[in-house]
C-alpha cells in the first residue's frame, strides 16, 4: 500500500508552513519548536514531500518551503529516516522532476542533490540512469527539470561521478550532455554546457576522451543568441585555457577575436566571464607570443571596461559628497584578521623577506563593492598584462590616457586615473619620463569635486610612492604628503579611507624621510580620531602603527608622545575587553611601543596589565569550555576528553565560540612592549604571572597562539632572562616539539626563541641541545623551505654551536652547506655575528666537517661587509689554516673555482 497522509496531520503541516512565512519573531520561534517536535515522527518527512510534489492546489512558495524544510531535515537527520520514508521521498522526487512550475522543479533538484551528498549516489543506483533517460522526454518540463538536477549533482559530486565506485557513469553522461548542445531550447543548451564545465578543471578522463568534440561544439555555440549560453561558453574557454591550452593553440587567433567581442557583450555577466580570459591568458607562458598582435584592439576594450557602470555609481552612492557624519552600519565593516608576529631578519639591500608579507588587496580600489565586477576584472587584467608586456604596452595606452585624464566627464577621468594605477607596477620604467608632469596633475585630482575621483587618485598615487620617494623631497613628496593629509580629513568617508590607506603605503616607502614632517603628520592623524566613524577608525590605527614602524625611535620625542598617546589611551580605556576593535588598536600600540622604547614607559603598566588579563581570560574561557564539554560528555555518555571547535559548532548554545584572537593580539603587544622597553619590562614581568600563562599558551592547539607565544618567549629572553631561566627545563621540550615545518610560522618563531635562549644560557644549554638539534638539521636540509625559516634555523644552529661546540660540531658536515648558502644574504648584525662565531668554533673542534664544502664557507665569509676585529681574526685563522694544510699548489687549484668577485674579496680582506 502506498503511503497516504492523515487529513488532520496534513492540515497541521500546512498551517505550520503558513506560519513560518510570518515576519513575527515570536511566531518564527514557535515554528522552530514545533518543527523540532514533529521531527520526532518519522513520517513527518512524508508529509513534507507530499506537500511539495502532490498538493498542486497550494501556492508555489508554500510547496517550495515544504521542500526546503525537508532538505534541511535530510541534511541533519537522513541516516535516521526509516527505509520506507527514504524510498517514498526518492520515488516522489523522480516522479515529479518535470513539475510545470520552475520553482518546484528547482526545489526537487536541490532535494535530490542533498540526498546524493549524503553518500546516497551508491545506494540509489537508478537515479543517474533515470535522470539521463528523462532528458529524452518530449515534455520540455521533464527534460529541463532532469537537467537542472543533473547540473546540481555534477556541481556537488563531480569526483564521485568519475570513480570506480559507481562504474564511472561519466563515460555515458559526457557524450549524452554533448548531444544537447544543439537542443532547440536555450535553457537546455545552457544546462548541458554547465554540466560539462564541472569536469574541466579536474581533467575528468571521460571529458578528455571527448575533448575535440567538446571544443567543436563550443565553437558552434559561440554566437548563440542566449546570454546564459554565451556566458557558459566563455567560462568553458577560460577553464580550457588553464588545463588544455594545447587543444586551443591551433584556434588561438579566432578564440582571441571571439573573446574581444564577448568582453564588450551587452550583458555584463557575459562580458565579465570573457574578461577573465585575459587574466588567465596572462598567466600562460605563451601569452606574449599569441597576444602581441591583438593589444591594439584589447587595450581600448579593457580601458573602456574600467569605467564605473551606472549601477556601480548608484551602489557606491557616487553622488553623495559629504557623509562623514553618517554612522557606519556594522555590515560595512569587513572582519579583520590579525597577522601574528613572525620574526624575520634584515637582508642586504634592506628589505624584509619578499613575497611573504604582500598586501593581497593592493589592487582593490573600491573594495566595499566587493563583488567582482567588469571594472575590477578589467583593471586586474590590465595590471597582469602590464607585468607581462612591460613597456611594450605603453604605445597602445598613452594615446588613450591623455583623452581620459583630461576629460570633462568625471566618470571617464576617474577611469583614466585607475588605468594609471593599474599599470604602475608593470610599466614603471616606461612611465618614469612622464611622471614629473603626471604627478602634479594627479595631486591636483586629490582636490576634485567628485569624491570617487579623489579616492581613486589616492590609490593611484600610492602605487607610485616608490618613485616619489626616490626624488628630492621638495619636488613631489612634500606636495603629495600635504594633499594626502588634507584628504585624510576629507568630508567623504570613502576618500578618508583611500587617503589613509595611501598614506600608510607612502609611510612604508618613505620611512625616515618623513621625520621632518612628523609634527604636521601627527596633528592630522590625531585630528582624524575625533572625526572618523567606526570603519575608518580601524584604518587610522593601521596608518599610525605603520608610521611608528617606519620612523622608529624618531617618534620618541616628548612633543610627539604628547600629541599621540592621549587619544590612543583614551580609546584604549573606552573599549571593553570583548570589543573586536581592540585588535587593530593593540596592533597599533604594539608598533608604537616598539618605536617609542623608553618613551612608552609612562603608559606601559596599564597596557601590560590589560594584555595579561586578556590572555588569562581567554585561557580561563577555554578551561570553562573544556569543563562544560566534560559535563556534556557525562550526560551523553560519550567519551570525549576535550572540547573542540567542532563541538562548539554542534552545541553553540552550550559554549561561546572560542575566540583566541584576543589572546594572540595581546601576546603580540606584550612582545612589542618587551622589544621596545627592554630591561624596563623586568618590573612588570616580576609582578605578574605571565610565565605561567606563557607555559599554557605554548601548548595551545591553535598554531597562531603558539606562534605568538614563541615570539614573546624570545623577546622576554632578550629583555629579562632571569625571569625566563627557571622555566627553561619545562619550556625546552615544548620548543623541540614545535620544530615542525608543517606550521612554518610556529616553527620559525620556536627556532628563533631557541637561539635567543642559547645565547643567554651559555654552556648551561648543554642538556637541551639533544632535544632540538636533529630537528633543526632536518629543517635546514629540507627542499622548498621558505627563506625566513632557513635563515632563522641557520642562526640558531650557529648559536647552539657557539655555546656548546662539543655537542653540535659532530654534525657539522650534515648542515654546513645549506647553513652557508642561507646566511650569505643577511646584513651584518648581532645575530649573524653570533652564528658565525659558532661556526668558527665548531670548525675548530671538527675541521674535517667543513672540508668537502669549504668553498661555501669561503663564500659565506666573503658576504661580511665589516665583521668585528676578533671575528675577522677567526675567519683569517681558518682560511689560512686550510691553505697551509692543503699547500700552496692545491690552494691555487681550489681557488680557481671561485667566482672573480669572491676571489677578489678574500684576497683583499684576508690575504688568501
Q: What 3 state SS string does 228-256 have?
A: HHHHHHHHHHHHHHHHCHHHHHHHHHHHH
> How confident is the model at residue 352, as a pLDDT?
38
Instruction: Report which of 839, 894, 892, 889 is spatially closest to residue 863, judged by C-alpha positions.
Output: 839
Q: Which range is most confident: 105-119, 163-177, 642-656, 761-775?
A: 761-775
Q: Is 866 exposed, middle or buried (0-12, 13-18, 19+ CB in 10 A)?
A: exposed
Report whether pLDDT(799) > 80: yes
Full-model pTM: 0.80
* DSSP structural state of residue 365: T
Write out pLDDT tens, residues 219-257.
999 889 999 999 999 999 999 999 999 999 999 999 999
For residue 336, name the pLDDT band (cuts at 50, 70, 90): low
Mean pLDDT, residues 259-288: 95
Q: Residue 538 burial (CB < 10 Å; 0-12/13-18/19+)? A: buried
Average pLDDT over residues 199-225: 93
Query: Which of residues 519 and 630 earns the better pLDDT score?
Result: 519
- Does 647 score more than 50 pLDDT? no
34-48, 446-460, 811-825, 895-909: segment of lowest average pLDDT = 34-48
- d(CA 606, CA 481) in angstroms, rounded, equals 34
The answer, yes or no, to whether residue 369 has pLDDT greater than 50, is no
- State the cell numbers at 388: 607581462
Instruction: Answer whether residue 611 shows pLDDT above 90.
Output: yes
pLDDT given at position 636: 38
The span from the CA of 301 to the CA of 231, in Å, is: 18
Confidence grade of residue 625 (pLDDT, cut at 50, 70, 90): low
Answer yes or no: are the C-beta atoms of 807 and 838 closer than 8 Å. no
| pLDDT(641) > 50 | no
Task: Say how many CA atoms lie within 13 Å of 114 toward its Cβ.
Answer: 22
- Using the 8-state DSSP alphabet, how is residue 5 labeled? -
900: helix, coil or strand?
Answer: helix
Q: Which helix (H) or strand (E) holds 904?
A: helix 900-910
The answer to whether residues 643 and 626 touch, using CB atoms and an 8 Å cutoff, is yes
Of the chain, the end-to-end C-alpha distance in Å amounts to 100
Question: When comparing pLDDT for 489 and 653, which is higher?
Answer: 489
Q: Provide the percentage of residues in the chain whose pLDDT is more than 70.
A: 92
* CB of 586 closer than 8 Å to CB of 622: no
Residues in the chain: 912
Q: How many CA atoms lie within 13 A of 854 on its CB side?
A: 19
Helix, strand, or coil here: 347? strand
Number of helices (H), then strands (E), belonging to the chain: the values are 51, 0
pLDDT for 348 beyond 90: no
- CB atoms under 10 Å from CB of 346, counted, come to 15
Q: Report the alpha-carbon distance of residue 724 to residue 717 in Å, rounded.
A: 6
Residue 658 has pLDDT above 60, yes or no: no
Least confident of 177-181, 197-201, 337-341, 479-483: 337-341
Kindly tell me if the per-residue pLDDT of 789 is higher than 70. Answer: yes
Residue 667: pLDDT over 80: yes
Confidence of residue 261 (pLDDT cuts 50, 70, 90): very high
Average pLDDT, the chain: 89
CB 572 within 8 A of CB 585: yes
Question: What are 882's three cell numbers?
Answer: 686550510
pLDDT at 648 over 70: no
For the cut 70, the answer to whether the pLDDT of residue 370 exceeds it is: no
**Three-point CA angle 879, 880, 883, nearest 5°:** 90
Q: Please work out, in degrees rounded to the nearest 5, the angle formed at the alpha carbon of residue 183 by the alpha carbons of 182 and 184.
A: 115
pLDDT value for 624 = 72
φ, ψ for residue 27 (rounded to 5)? -60, -45
Q: What is the mean pLDDT of residues 604-631?
A: 82
Question: pLDDT by residue (tens digit) across 880-911?
Answer: 999 999 899 999 999 898 999 999 999 999 98
Q: How many CA atoms lie within 13 A of 433 on its CB side?
A: 4
Task: Phi first, then psi: give them for residue 672, nearest 5 degrees.
Answer: -60, -40
DSSP type of residue 779: H
Interhelix angle 295-305/252-262, rounded to 10 degrees, is 30
Lowest mean per-residue pLDDT among 310-319, 433-442, 604-613: 310-319
pLDDT per position as a tens digit, 830-855:
999 999 999 999 999 999 999 999 99
pLDDT of residue 36: 83
Residue 739 predicted with pLDDT over 70? yes
> Residues 495-515: pLDDT tens digits?
999 999 999 999 999 999 999
| pLDDT at residue number 201 | 92
* Eight-state DSSP code of residue 865: S
- State what percent of residues in the chain have pLDDT above 90: 73
Q: Residue 119 carries which DSSP code?
A: I
Amino acid at each position: 500500500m502506498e503511503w497516504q497522509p492523515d487529513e488532520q496531520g496534513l492540515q497541521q503541516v500546512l498551517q505550520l508552513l503558513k506560519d513560518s512565512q510570518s515576519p513575527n519573531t515570536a511566531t518564527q520561534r514557535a515554528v522552530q519548536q514545533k518543527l523540532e517536535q514533529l521531527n520526532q515522527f518519522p513520517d513527518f518527512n512524508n508529509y513534507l514531500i507530499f506537500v511539495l510534489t502532490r498538493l498542486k492546489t497550494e501556492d508555489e512558495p508554500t510547496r517550495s518551503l515544504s521542500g526546503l524544510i525537508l532538505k534541511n531535515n535530510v541534511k541533519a537527520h537522513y541516516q535516521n529516516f526509516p527505509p520506507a520514508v527514504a524510498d517514498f521521498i526518492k520515488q516522489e522526487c523522480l516522479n515529479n522532476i518535470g513539475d510545470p512550475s520552475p520553482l518546484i522543479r528547482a526545489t526537487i533538484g536541490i532535494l535530490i542533490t542533498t540526498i546524493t551528498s549524503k553518500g546516497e549516489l551508491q545506494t540509489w543506483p537508478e537515479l543517474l540512469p533515470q535522470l539521463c533517460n528523462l532528458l529524452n522526454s518530449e515534455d520540455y518540463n521533464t527534460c529541463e527539470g532532469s537537467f537542472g538536477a543533473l547540473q546540481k549533482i555534477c556541481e556537488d559530486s563531480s569526483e564521485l561521478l568519475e570513480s570506480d565506485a559507481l562504474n564511472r557513469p561519466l563515460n555515458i553522461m559526457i557524450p549524452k550532455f554533448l548531444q544537447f548542445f544543439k537542443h532547440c531550447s536555450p535553457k537546455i543548451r545552457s544546462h548541458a554546457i554547465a554540466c560539462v564545465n564541472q569536469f574541466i578543471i579536474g581533467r575528468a578522463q571521460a571529458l578528455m576522451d571527448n575533448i575535440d568534440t567538446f571544443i567543436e561544439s563550443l565553437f558552434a555555440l559561440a554566437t548563440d543568441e542566449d546570454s546564459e549560453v554565451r556566458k557558459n561558453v566563455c567560462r568553458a574557454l577560460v577553464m580550457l585555457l588553464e588545463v588544455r591550452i594545447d587543444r586551443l593553440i591551433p584556434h588561438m587567433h579566432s578564440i582571441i577575436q571571439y573573446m574581444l567581442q564577448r568582453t564588450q557583450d551587452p550583458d555584463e555577466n557575459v562580458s565579465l566571464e570573457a574578461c577573465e580570459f585575459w587574466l588567465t591568458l596572462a598567466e600562460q607562458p605563451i601569452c606574449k607570443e599569441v597576444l602581441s598582435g591583438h593589444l591594439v584592439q584589447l587595450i581600448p576594450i579593457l580601458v573602456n571596461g574600467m569605467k564605473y557602470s551606472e549601477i556601480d555609481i548608484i551602489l557606491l552612492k557616487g553622488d553623495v559628497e559629504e557623509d562623514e557624519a553618517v554612522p557606519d552600519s556594522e555590515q560595512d565593516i569587513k572582519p579583520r584578521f590579525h597577522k601574528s608576529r613572525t620574526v624575520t631578519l634584515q637582508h642586504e639591500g634592506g628589505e624584509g623577506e619578499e613575497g611573504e608579507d604582500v598586501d593581497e588587496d593592493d589592487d582593490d580600489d573600491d573594495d566595499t563593492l566587493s563583488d567582482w565586477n567588469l571594472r575590477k576584472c578589467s583593471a586586474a587584467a590590465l595590471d597582469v598584462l602590464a607585468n607581462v608586456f612591460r613597456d611594450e604596452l605603453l604605445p597602445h595606452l598613452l594615446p588613450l590616457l591623455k583623452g581620459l585624464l583630461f576629460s570633462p566627464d568625471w566618470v571617464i577621468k576617474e577611469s583614466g586615473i585607475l588605468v594609471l594605477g593599474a599599470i604602475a607596477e608593470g610599466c614603471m620604467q616606461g612611465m618614469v619620463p612622464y611622471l614629473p608632469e603626471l604627478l602634479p596633475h594627479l595631486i591636483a585630482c586629490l582636490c576634485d569635486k567628485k569624491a570617487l575621483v579623489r579616492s581613486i587618485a589616492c590609490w593611484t598615487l600610492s602605487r607610485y610612492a616608490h618613485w616619489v620617494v626616490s626624488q628630492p623631497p621638495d619636488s613631489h613628496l612634500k606636495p603629495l604628503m600635504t594633499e594626502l593629509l588634507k584628504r585624510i580629513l576629507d568630508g567623504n568617508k570613502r576618500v578618508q579611507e583611500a587617503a589613509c590607506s595611501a598614506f600608510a603605503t607612502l609611510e612604508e616607502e618613505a620611512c625616515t624621510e618623513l621625520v621632518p614632517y612628523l609634527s604636521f603628520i601627527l596633528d592630522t592623524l590625531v585630528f582624524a580620531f575625533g572625526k572618523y566613524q567606526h570603519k575608518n577608525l580601524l584604518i587610522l590605527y593601521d596608518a599610525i602603527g605603520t608610521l611608528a614602524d617606519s620612523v622608529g625611535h624618531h617618534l620618541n620625542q616628548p612633543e610627539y608622545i604628547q600629541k599621540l598617546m592621549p587619544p590612543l589611551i583614551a580609546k584604549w580605556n573606552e573599549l571593553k575587553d570583548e570589543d573586536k576593535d581592540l585588535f587593530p588598536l593593540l596592533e597599533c600600540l604594539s608598533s608604537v611601543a616598539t618605536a617609542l622604547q623608553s618613551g612608552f614607559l609612562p603608559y606601559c603598566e596599564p597596557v601590560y596589565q590589560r594584555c595579561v588579563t586578556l590572555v588569562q581570560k581567554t585561557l580561563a574561557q577555554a578551561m570553562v569550555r573544556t569543563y562544560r564539554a566534560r559535563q556534556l560528555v557525562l550526560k551523553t555518555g560519550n567519551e570525549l576528553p576535550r572540547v573542540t571547535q567542532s563541538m562548539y559548532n554542534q552545541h553553540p548554545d552550550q559554549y561561546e565560540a572560542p575566540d583566541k584572537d584576543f589572546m594572540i593580539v595581546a601576546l603580540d603587544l606584550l612582545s612589542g612592549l618587551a622589544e621596545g622597553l627592554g630591561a624596563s619590562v623586568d618590573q612588570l614581568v616580576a609582578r605578574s604571572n605571565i610565565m605561567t600563562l606563557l607555559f599554557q599558551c605554548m601548548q595551545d592547539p591553535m598554531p597562531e597562539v603558539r606562534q605568538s607565544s614563541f615570539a614573546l618567549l624570545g623577546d622576554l629572553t632578550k629583555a629579562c632572562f632571569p625571569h625566563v631561566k627557571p622555566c627553561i627545563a619545562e619550556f625546552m621540550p615544548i620548543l623541540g616539539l614545535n620544530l615542525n615545518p608543517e606550521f612554518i610560522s610556529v616553527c620559525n618563531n620556536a627556532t628563533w626563541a631557541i637561539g635567543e635562549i642559547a645565547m643567554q644560557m651559555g654552556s648551561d644549554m648543554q642538556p637541551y641541545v639533544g632535544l632540538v638539534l636533529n630537528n633543526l638539521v632536518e629543517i635546514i636540509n629540507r627542499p622548498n623551505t621558505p627563506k625566513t625559516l632557513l635563515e632563522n634555523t641557520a642562526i640558531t644552529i650557529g648559536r647552539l654551536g657557539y655555546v656548546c661546540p662539543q655537542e653540535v660540531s659532530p654534525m657539522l658536515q650534515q648542515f654546513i652547506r645549506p647553513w652557508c648558502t642561507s646566511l650569505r644574504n643577511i646584513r651584518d648584525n648581532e645575530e649573524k655575528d653570533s652564528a658565525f662565531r659558532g661556526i668558527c668554533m665548531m670548525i675548530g673542534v671538527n675541521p674535517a666537517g667543513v672540508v668537502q664544502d669549504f668553498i661555501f664557507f669561503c663564500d659565506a665569509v666573503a658576504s661580511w661587509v665589516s665583521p668585528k676585529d676578533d671575528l675577522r681574526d677567526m675567519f683569517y685563522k681558518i682560511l689560512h689554516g686550510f691553505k697551509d694544510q692543503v699547500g700552496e699548489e692545491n690552494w691555487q687549484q681550489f681557488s680557481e673555482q671561485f667566482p672573480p668577485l669572491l676571489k677578489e674579496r678574500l684576497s683583499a680582506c684576508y690575504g688568501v
